[in-house]
Amino acid sequence: MAKGRIIFVTGTDTGVGKSYATGVLARAYLALGKTVITQKPVQTGTREPEDILIHRRMMGLPPDPPELLSLTCPYIFKYPAAPETAASLEGQKIDSGHLLACLRELSQTYEVVLVEGAGGLYVPLTEDLTVLDFISLLMCPVLVVSAARLGTINHTVLTIKALKARGLYVAGLIYNLHFATDEFLAERSLEDIKRLAEIDQVLKLPNITDEIPSIEALLSFVENTPGLRP
């Protein structure tokens, strides 16, 4: 499908830090001298491309001009719900072919395209297509974002195993420490996730409201993770 590398960023749930993770990864590729863009196929709960704006802020870039935004955020719906529901309330349907066409155009221009999903894997994009189905169409490397809080072992392991069951390559885990209230529990949960999900490549995001990960840590993760390496 594409000339540029497409990488999908999914999460165990909504609100786990996918937008910040996508933004800091894009920042790393910029530091490596790569042309990089991020995409949010469907934004809900707002009339603004909120997640794309987070990405650009983390990348140190201005908001996308309208012609680019039509590709980086093809659908925006006001109601805070799954994309299929939010679209139907506005009398619209999401066209998966249009999403793929937008990605195809971006990948012709940029060396790296980071795609941020909506919620978790089984969120419906259309009546017949979940986020997981959409990733399966792309057959690209996937990064999983999970939150260091109670319940993360189950949610993260199930997410990774669902991706692997589809034959998808899980490049790594981004473990968001923003929610951690117990350092011991956060570390112990991560060790269990790595063992049960059989995953080794992990990037720990610090408290992202206070700091951005060091560029050295970001570059090390990207350069040492198969599927992400430029």
Indicate the annotated binding residues: 15-20, 44, 64, 116-119, 213-215
How far apart are the C-alpha atoms of 77 and 65, rounded to whole Å?
19
**φ and ψ of 142, to 5 deg:** -125, 135
- Which residues are annotated as part of the binding site for Mg(2+)? 19, 64, 116
**Closest to 72 (Cα-Cα) out of 105, 46, 41:** 41
Binding residues for ATP: 15-20, 64, 116-119, 213-215
Residue 40 falls in the annotated catalytic set? yes
Query: Beta-carbon neighbour count of residue 14 at 10 Å?
Result: 15
User: Could you say which of 3, 34, 40, 164 is catalytic?
Assistant: 40
**Which parts are annotated binding residues for substrate?**
44
First vs last Cα of the chain: how many Å apart?
Answer: 18
Instruction: Say what the alpha-carbon torsion angle 91, 93, 94, 97 is, to the nearest 10 degrees.
Output: -140
- Spatial distance between the Cα atoms of 228 and 207, rounded to a whole number of angstroms: 23
Amino acid type, 63: P
Spatial contact of 106 and 72, defined as CB atoms under 8 Å apart: yes
Active site residues: 40
